[in-house]
């Protein structure tokens, strides 16, 4: 049986629209992540936290003061506030997004650094952040970078870390 012309056209339009959804979704996730990270670097972790599930699981492996296996927004917020207080800066090299809305995987490749007031770069590292997102909320993320450099950064922070909120 031959499909009527109008039905065939509708199928083609719907097929084209559906094939555009994954790239559009990936673009949206990347854009929101860049916006939320930009706010974090400006000193406000609020948007990043708002995009996290209440029971978000955050992991930072290693043996340093930054090491963490945290559950829940409140615990993650304390870690992020220290990140902001110390003054770490983050450069996103690439963001990869795959999967449907209910099971999205995000991989962020980044460089982070801290420059002292005199201009000396006292810490520089590269790493990845692997995240899982379900229905717009981050449920899990893990930061992986050179843990030896993080431990050496701890040594510098022992005498230089800012205190306060």
Collapsed DSSP state (helix, strand, coil) of residue 126: strand
Instruction: Please tell me which residue, 77 or 18, carries the higher pLDDT value.
Output: 77
- Give the model's pLDDT for residue 161: 86
Q: Half-sphere exposure of 12 toward its Cβ, with a 13 Å CA cutoff? A: 7
Compute the average pLDDT of residues 57-66: 95
Report the candidate in 134, 54, 64, 123 with the shortest Cα–Cα distance to residue 90.
123
pLDDT at 16: 60
Q: Determine the pLDDT at residue 123.
A: 97
Q: What would the pLDDT profile of 94-146 be if each residue is shown by its tens digit?
A: 999 999 889 999 999 999 999 998 999 999 999 999 999 999 999 999 999 99
- pLDDT of 163 reads 75
Domain 5-160 belongs to what architecture? Roll (3.10)
* Count of CA atoms in the C-beta half-sphere (13 A) of 149: 14
pTM of the model: 0.83
| 104 close to 28: Cβ distance less than 8 angstroms | no
pLDDT for position 6: 66
- Placement of tokens 């609020």 in the chain: 46
| Signed CA dihedral, 142, 145, 151, 154: sign only | negative
Q: Where are the domains of the chain?
A: 5-160
DSSP-based three-state secondary structure for 69: strand
Q: Count other Cβ atoms within 10 Å, centred on residue 108.
A: 22
For residue range 14-51, what is the model confidence (pLDDT) as tens digits?
566 555 678 888 999 999 999 999 999 899 999 999 99
- Per-residue pLDDT, 113: 95
Stretch 84-93: mean pLDDT, rounded?
92
Confidence band for 71, pLDDT divided at 50, 70 and 90:
very high
Q: Taking 60 as the threshold, does the pLDDT of residue 68 lie above it?
A: yes
């Amino acid at each position: 049986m031959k499909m009527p012309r109008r039905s065939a056209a509708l199928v083609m339009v719907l097929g084209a629209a559906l094939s555009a959804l994954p790239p559009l979704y990936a673009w949206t996730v990347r854009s929101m992540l860049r916006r939320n990270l930009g706010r974090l670097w400006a000193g406000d972790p609020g948007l990043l936290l708002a995009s996290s599930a209440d029971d978000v699981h955050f992991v930072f492996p290693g043996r340093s003061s930054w090491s963490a296996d945290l559950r829940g927004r409140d615990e993650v917020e304390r870690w992020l506030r220290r990140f902001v207080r110390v003054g770490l800066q983050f450069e996103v090299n690439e963001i990869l997004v795959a999967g449907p809305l209910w099971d999205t995987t995000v991989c962020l490749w980044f460089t982070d650094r801290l420059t002292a007031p005199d201009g000396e770069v006292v810490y520089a590292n590269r790493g990845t952040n692997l995240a899982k997102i379900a229905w717009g909320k981050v449920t899990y993320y893990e930061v992986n970078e050179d843990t030896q450099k993080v431990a050496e950064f701890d040594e510098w922070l022992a005498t230089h870390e800012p205190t306060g909120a």
